[in-house]
Structure 1
Amino acid sequence: MIENFKFGRVAVLGDLLLDCYISGSVGRISPEAPVPVLLSAQHTAVPGGAANVAMNAATLGCAVELIGLVGCDAPADTLKTALLHDGTIDLAGVVADAAWVTITKTRVVSGRQQIVRIDEERIAPVSRETRARLIDAACRAITRADVLICSDYAKGLLSDDVLEAVIGYARQRNVPVIVDPKRRDFAAYRGASLVTPNRGEIALATGLTLGSDAEIERAARIVSDQFGGDVLVTRSEEGMTLVRRDGRVTHAHARKSEVYDVSGAGDTVVATIASVLSAGQDLETAIVIATSAAAIAVSKLGTATVTRHELSAALRAEMKEDGTLVPLEQACALVEGWRQHGARIVLTNGCFDLIHPGHIALIRGAARHGDKLVVALNSDASVRRLKGPSRPLQDELARATVMGALRDVDLVVIFDEDTPLETIQALRPDIIVKGSDYQEHEVVGRDVVTSYGGSVVLVDLIEGRSTSSIVRKMQPG
Structure 2
Amino acid sequence: MIEDFDFGRIAVIGDLFLDCYITGSVSRISPEAPVPVLLRAAHSAVPGGAANVAMNAAALGCRVELVGLVGCDGSAERLRAALAPYPTIGLSGLVADPAWTTITKTRVLSGRQQIVRIDDERVEPVVASTRARVIDAACVAIAQADVVVCSDYAKGVLSEETLEAIMAFAVARNVPVIVDPKRKTFSAYRGAWLVTPNRDELTTATGLPLRTDDDVARAATVAAGQFGGNVLVTRSEEGMTLLRTDGRLQHARVRKSEVYDVCGAGDTVVATIASVVSAGQDLGTAVVIANSAASLVVGKLGTATVSRDELSAALTAEIREDGATVPTDRAREIVEEWRQHGARIVFTNGCFDLVHPGHISLIRAAARQGDKLIVALNSDASVRRLKGESRPVQDEQARATVIGALRDVDLVVIFDEDTPLETIRALRPDVIVKGADYQEHQVVGGDFVKSYGGAVALVDIVSGRSTSALVGKMRQPAPSAVEPASVPGTARGSVP
TM-score, normalised relative to structure 2: 0.77
Does 1:14 pair with 2:14?
yes
Q: Give the corresponding residue for 1:408.
A: 408
| C-alpha deviation, 1:149, in angstroms | 0.9
Q: Give the corresponding residue for 2:240.
A: 240
Q: Give the corresponding residue for 2:346.
A: 347
Q: Give the corresponding residue for 1:54.
A: 54
SS of aligned partner of 2:106: strand
Compared CA separation, residues 152 and 377, structure 1 to 2 (3 A): same
Q: Give the corresponding residue for 2:220.
A: 220
Whole-angstrom distance in 2 between the partners of 1:59 and 1:431? 36
Whole-angstrom distance in 1 between the partners of 2:215 and 2:85? 44
Q: Give the corresponding residue for 1:250.
A: 250
Q: What one-letter code is carried by the residue in structure 1 that aligns with 2:187?
A: A
Deviations 1:27-55 (A, max 9, x none): 22223333222111101101100111111
Q: Give the corresponding residue for 2:199.
A: 199
Say if 1:345 and 1:374, in contact at 8 Å, map to a contact too: no
| C-alpha deviation, 1:211, in angstroms | 2.6
Say if 1:343 and 1:370, in contact at 8 Å, map to a contact too: no
Q: Give the corresponding residue for 2:119.
A: 119
Deviations 1:180-234 (A, max 9, x none): 1111121111111111111222222233343333333332222221111122222
SS of aligned partner of 2:219: helix
Gaps of 5+ in 1: 380-393, 437-442, 469-477
Whole-angstrom distance in 2 between the partners of 1:85 and 1:456? 51
Whole-angstrom distance in 1 between the partners of 2:401 and 2:38? 61
Identity of aligned residues (%): 68
Whole-angstrom distance in 1 between the partners of 2:457 and 2:175? 34
Does 1:336 pair with 2:336?
yes
SS of aligned partner of 2:23: strand
| C-alpha deviation, 1:362, in angstroms | 7.9
Whole-angstrom distance in 2 between the partners of 1:114 and 1:456? 58
Q: Give the corresponding residue for 2:390.
A: none
Compared CA separation, residues 358 and 168, structure 1 to 2 (3 A): farther
Compared CA separation, residues 241 and 87, structure 1 to 2 (3 A): same
SS of aligned partner of 1:142: helix
Compared CA separation, residues 378 and 142, structure 1 to 2 (3 A): farther
Whole-angstrom distance in 2 between the partners of 1:449 and 1:7? 32
Whole-angstrom distance in 1 between the partners of 2:452 and 2:79? 45
Say if 1:356 and 1:467, in contact at 8 Å, map to a contact too: no
Deviations 1:48-91 (A, max 9, x none): 00111111112122222211111222221221222120222222
SS of aligned partner of 1:28: strand
Which is worse superposed, 284-293 or 193-202?
A: 284-293
Q: What one-letter code is carried by the residue in structure 1 that aligns with 2:343?
A: R
Whole-angstrom distance in 1 between the partners of 2:300 and 2:91? 26
Q: What one-letter code is carried by the residue in structure 2 that aligns with 1:347?
A: V
Compared CA separation, residues 237 and 414, structure 1 to 2 (3 A): closer
Say if 1:331 and 1:413, in contact at 8 Å, map to a contact too: no
Say if 1:349 and 1:375, in contact at 8 Å, map to a contact too: yes
SS of aligned partner of 1:220: helix
| C-alpha deviation, 1:251, in angstroms | 2.7
Q: Give the corresponding residue for 1:285.
A: 285
| C-alpha deviation, 1:280, in angstroms | 2.8
Say if 2:339 and 2:345, in contact at 8 Å, map to a contact too: no
Whole-angstrom distance in 2 between the partners of 1:467 and 1:281? 47
Compared CA separation, residues 57 and 433, structure 1 to 2 (3 A): farther
Whole-angstrom distance in 1 between the partners of 2:16 and 2:155? 9
Q: Matches of residues 32-431 of structure 1 in structure 2 within 5 Å? A: 32-323=32-323, 331-340=331-340, 342-347=341-346, 367=367, 371-374=371-374, 404-409=404-409, 410-411=411-412, 427-429=427-429
* Greater Rg by CA: 2
| C-alpha deviation, 1:417, in angstroms | 11
Whole-angstrom distance in 1 between the partners of 2:27 and 2:142? 52
SS of aligned partner of 1:319: helix
Say if 2:346 and 2:371, in contact at 8 Å, map to a contact too: no
Q: What RMSD in Å do the two structures reach over aligned CA positions?
A: 4.4
SS of aligned partner of 1:374: strand
Whole-angstrom distance in 1 between the partners of 2:25 and 2:265? 25
Whole-angstrom distance in 1 between the partners of 2:365 and 2:144? 39
Say if 2:229 and 2:245, in contact at 8 Å, map to a contact too: yes
Say if 1:13 and 1:138, in contact at 8 Å, map to a contact too: yes
Q: What one-letter code is carried by the residue in structure 2 that aligns with 1:136?
A: D
| C-alpha deviation, 1:8, in angstroms | 2.4
Compared CA separation, residues 65 and 466, structure 1 to 2 (3 A): farther
Whole-angstrom distance in 2 between the partners of 1:62 and 1:331? 33
Say if 1:449 and 1:455, in contact at 8 Å, map to a contact too: yes
Compared CA separation, residues 161 and 77, structure 1 to 2 (3 A): same
Compared CA separation, residues 423 and 143, structure 1 to 2 (3 A): farther
Whole-angstrom distance in 2 between the partners of 1:199 and 1:423? 36
Say if 2:180 and 2:195, in contact at 8 Å, map to a contact too: yes
Compared CA separation, residues 96 and 327, structure 1 to 2 (3 A): closer
Q: What one-letter code is carried by the residue in structure 2 that aligns with 1:263?
A: C
Deviations 1:230-256 (A, max 9, x none): 222222222222223332233323223
SS of aligned partner of 1:183: coil
TM-score, normalised relative to structure 1: 0.79
| C-alpha deviation, 1:140, in angstroms | 2.6
Q: What one-letter code is carried by the residue in structure 1 that aligns with 2:44?
A: T
Whole-angstrom distance in 2 between the partners of 1:172 and 1:224? 21
Which is worse superposed, 174-183 or 368-377?
A: 368-377
| C-alpha deviation, 1:295, in angstroms | 2.1
Whole-angstrom distance in 1 between the partners of 2:168 and 2:370? 40
SS of aligned partner of 2:315: helix
Whole-angstrom distance in 2 between the partners of 1:36 and 1:326? 50
Say if 2:403 and 2:412, in contact at 8 Å, map to a contact too: no
| C-alpha deviation, 1:108, in angstroms | 1.1
